[in-house]
């Protein structure tokens, strides 16, 4: 059994291409990810995001008190939201006259 303060066994495997967890159709089968490892996963998922005192309190709760399947579901949602936001920022705005528009052969 892994001590709660030490890194646990490998988390439910993220998508190898993106490193993102989920989406999950049922609870992940992972049994334990220690608080220190959880904190590292959340820090990576929230890199560049400003956090207030309440935010940090809730993140600490996620790291120390919620069950691992719930933690992985929340982590996956944060990771997928970041990925979707990045993709949306990179996509051309169809209303922008300077944006490239597909030709008839590309549609």
Q: Note the pLDDT tens digit of each residue in 8-45.
A: 444 456 776 677 887 888 888 877 899 999 999 999 99
95 within some domain: no
56 within some domain: yes
96 within some domain: no
> In which domain, by residue range, is 52 found?
35-88
Give residue-wise pLDDT tens across range 49-107. 999 999 999 999 999 998 999 999 999 999 999 888 777 777 676 676 666 555 555 55
* Number of domains forming the structure of the chain: 1
59 within some domain: yes
99 within some domain: no
24 within some domain: no
6 within some domain: no
- Here the tokens at position 17 are 């291409």
pTM for the whole structure: 0.65
- Residue 76 · residue 24 · CB < 8 Å: yes
* Predicted local distance difference test score (pLDDT) of residue 84: 83
**29 CB-near residues (< 8 Å, 6+ apart):** 12, 69
Task: Give 3's pLDDT tier (boundaries 50, 70, 90).
Answer: very low
């Amino acid at each position: 059994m892994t001590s709660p303060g030490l890194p646990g066994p490998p988390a439910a495997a993220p998508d190898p291409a993106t490193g993102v967890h989920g989406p999950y159709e049922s609870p992940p089968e992972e049994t334990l990810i220690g608080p220190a490892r959880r904190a590292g996963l959340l820090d990576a998922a929230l890199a560049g995001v400003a956090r207030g005192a309440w935010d940090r309190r809730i993140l600490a709760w996620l790291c120390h008190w919620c069950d691992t399947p719930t933690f992985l579901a929340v982590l996956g949602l944060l990771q997928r939201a970041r990925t979707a936001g990045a993709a949306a920022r990179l996509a051309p705005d169809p209303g922008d006259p300077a944006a490239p528009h597909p030709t008839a052969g590309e549609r």
